[in-house]
Amino acid sequence: MTDRLGALAAALLGTDADEGRRIATELTRLSAAFPRPVRLGLGVAGGGLDLAARLLSGKSLARLDPATREAVCTALAARPGGRALLDAVKMPLLLAAAAGGAASAAPADAAPAAASPPAPEPELTCVAVDDWPRRSRADAVVIGSGAGGAMAARELARAGLSVVVLEEGRRFTAAEFRDRPAADRFVDLYRDGGATFALGTPPVLLPQGRGVGGTTLVNSGTCYRTPERVLRRWRDVHGLALADPARFGPLLDEVERTLRVAPQPTDVLGRNGELVLAGAAALGWKAAPMRRNAPGCAGSCQCVVGCPRNAKNGVHLNALPQACAAGAVVVTGARVERIVTARGRAVGVRFRGRLIAAPLVVAAAGALETPRLLSRSGLGGHPGIGRGLAVHPAVSLAGRFGEPVIAWRGVLQSVGVEQLHDDGVLIEATAGPPGLVSFVPPGIGRELHAELASADRLATVGAMIADQPSGRVSARTVRYRLADSDADRLRLAIVAIGELLFAAGAEAVLTGLAHRPHAHSVGELRDAVATADTRQLHLAAFHPTGSARMGADPQRAPVDPDGRLRGVHGVWVADASTLPGCPEVNPQVSIMAVALAAGRAAAAEAGR
């Protein structure tokens, strides 16, 4: 398989045979973390291209000269489904190509000389699962240590309950983030090595963090408050009294204090963000540096693979240490098998052959894993469990400039453009380490090689749209149907990003659309978008919500307005799955505010 992948890499990325073999070796190593269907898909892609080479030339792909290999790729791309197949293979190949090179290491030299030293690791009471007893007791068990679980655990521990937090992943340190290549960190820090997808037309990449701190380890650090129009909708449509702005506001205030949220200083913003600000100013659009939980940010652009300076305040640096200071314990490597109930009440949790007896259980495993946990625990009977998933789908474009941009130097997600936010489109200047961005460069062979060689002149911008809750989580798959109105929003977003980049001085825009990969004017971009099939869109999503929603109506909402799972006593839910719909902004602050309220309500009930 490595020979086939090596030939595929050389053909698709326009490299020589030796470099192709190196990339194949790296991909084989990294792909051990991918789910089996993805690994099989890579093998099928290599085999399919090899078969095409034999049919067209009579030789295997590995035996062809570079020009003929590229001709085979071009011929395959012209066939129905061929382009989609090659595009799907690009991202793992680009990840492997970056692995092991200097560009994939944490660029500590991007930090200003005057930056303060990395923040120390906080005190956390962590116990590896193998060191945890087979039988134990606690007042409360929290499943998941991310944004929701950490906040709920803190409130329960501060109320005097004995709390155990169960985390499937392990604890990571900033020293690891400084010393290990970005590609290696990527496959370790994400479930399925970052290769989680929602099946649909088009499919949607859904990377989910896994480790102590959950996705807050690997998010961008962007901290929007929940918009008041969203809160009013949650209150008026879903009967969520908690969402009354007057009641929710103090919760948001507490979360912001916990995370130390502040506007991003511009001294480390980076050229990527500066160009977006310039484009917005030229258009008269509303834009500003993000509010972030990163008071010590030095612009190393590593947020998505762990901050090498502990500058981004994920919950592993605040809410979890605060919970541990109040007596909580975090058990790592603890994948939960089921919540145990008896006679309609929670009695404990089973994981890795162990049982913790507890009368109170908080499910906080995230919008994809919490419905699965509830279902395998026999608690998924409500028709709303696993349904109503919104994902906040995103598209990315790149603008080519005449001077170097070096987008990976600076803040990863630096500037927000809210001009179209009322229309459900939020634009954000977002870059990333080489090989780890969601934008897929166009072309194959020498064309793609040339694009990559001039990547330092690209500015990258993304946009998320407020989507309909049209996804579903089942035991083995996530399915998502992009609504027609959401496809229209995505087209609006693509054109808006193009306007922004051209206004900033871009010479051309890389559209992300296979049939028209380049545009040299807004008019060309509009034409490309107007003729694009929705299936051509490269979609990623980072904010799944709503798969176990809160609400007043017991027929529609499996979780009550305080966070209790309906139909059983002692089981609470405190994560993104409870949000009644897409929050229209990066959701970390919203999730933590809801979990803060749920944790307090659960603690109060336990104390009665």
Q: 249 with 336, same domain?
A: yes
pLDDT > 50? residue 110: no
pLDDT confidence of residue 62: 82
pLDDT confidence of residue 72: 85
Assign residue 406 a region (left: φ > 0; alpha: ψ between -120 and 50; beta: otherwise).
Answer: left
What is the average pLDDT score of the chain? 92
Name the pLDDT band for 101 (thresholds 50, 70, 90): low
Tell me the two tokens of residue 495: 């054109």
For 607, half-sphere exposure in the C-beta direction (CA atoms, 13 angstrom radius) is 13
Last residue of a domain, one of 541, 566, 583: 541
Domain count, the chain: 3
Is residue 141 helix, strand or coil?
Answer: strand
Tell me the two tokens of residue 293: 């939980």
**How far is residue 432's CA from residue 441's CA, in Å, rounded to a whole number?**
14
Specify if 73 maps to a domain. Answer: yes
Range 85-110 average pLDDT: 65
pLDDT confidence of residue 115: 55
Q: 194 with 73, same domain?
A: no
What DSSP state is assigned to residue 163?
E
Query: Which residues are catalytically annotated?
Result: 543
pLDDT confidence of residue 133: 98
Specify if 235 maps to a domain. Answer: yes
- The answer to whether residues 76 and 53 touch, using CB atoms and an 8 Å cutoff, is no
Q: 533 with 548, same domain?
A: no
**How far is residue 48's CA from residue 65's CA, in Å, rounded to a whole number?**
18
**H or E element in which residue 417 lies:** strand 413-417
Q: 273 with 399, same domain?
A: yes
pLDDT confidence of residue 109: 38
For tokens 């008896």, what's the residue? 342
Contacts of 476 (CB under 8 A, 6+ apart): none
Of 114-118, 519-523, 533-537, the poorest mean pLDDT is in 114-118
Range 215-229 average pLDDT: 97
Of 62-66, 129-133, 569-573, the poorest mean pLDDT is in 62-66
**H or E element in which residue 155 lies:** helix 147-158
Tell me the two tokens of residue 418: 């809210």
Q: 537 with 399, same domain?
A: yes
Q: Which residues pair with residue 146 across a beta bridge?
A: none
Specify if 505 maps to a domain. Answer: yes
pLDDT > 90? residue 104: no
Q: 529 with 500, same domain?
A: yes
Name the pLDDT band for 114 (thresholds 50, 70, 90): very low
Strand order in the sheet with 163-167: 126-128, 329-332, 163-167, 140-143, 360-363, 571-573
- pLDDT tens for residues 149-158? 999 999 999 9
Contacts of 376 (CB under 8 A, 6+ apart): 337, 338, 475
For residue 485, give the CATH number of its domain: 3.30.410
Specify if 305 maps to a domain. Answer: no
Of the two residues 578 and 74, the one the predictor is more confident about is: 578
Q: 28 with 92, same domain?
A: yes
Specify if 118 maps to a domain. Answer: no
Residue 96: Cβ within 10 Å count: 25
Specify if 170 maps to a domain. Answer: yes
Specify if 92 maps to a domain. Answer: yes
- The answer to whether residues 136 and 343 touch, using CB atoms and an 8 Å cutoff, is no
pLDDT confidence of residue 535: 85
For residue 133, give the CATH number of its domain: 3.50.50.60
pLDDT > 60? residue 249: yes
- pLDDT tens for residues 273-314? 999 999 999 999 999 999 999 998 999 999 999 999 999 999
Q: Give buried/exposed letters for 552-562 (b at 16+ CB in 10 A, else e).
A: eeeeebbbbbb
DSSP strands (E only) in 440-544 = 458-465, 471-473, 478-480, 508-510, 518-519, 539-540
Last residue of a domain, one of 541, 559, 574: 541
Based on its alpha-carbon atoms, the radius of gyration of the chain, rounded to whole angstroms, reads: 24
> Which residue range(s) make up the domain with 39?
1-99
Of the two residues 459 and 74, the one the predictor is more confident about is: 459
Q: 453 with 586, same domain?
A: no
pLDDT confidence of residue 47: 81
Q: 241 with 328, same domain?
A: yes
Could you tell me what percent of the chain has a pLDDT over 70? 97
Q: Among residues 552, 577, 547, which one has the least CA distance to residue 562?
A: 552
Specify if 350 maps to a domain. Answer: yes
pLDDT confidence of residue 435: 75
Of 50-64, 242-256, 342-356, 536-550, the poorest mean pLDDT is in 50-64
Q: 376 with 283, same domain?
A: no
Q: 7 with 138, same domain?
A: no
Q: 193 with 324, same domain?
A: yes
Tell me the two tokens of residue 100: 């092991």
pLDDT > 80? residue 4: no
pLDDT confidence of residue 100: 53
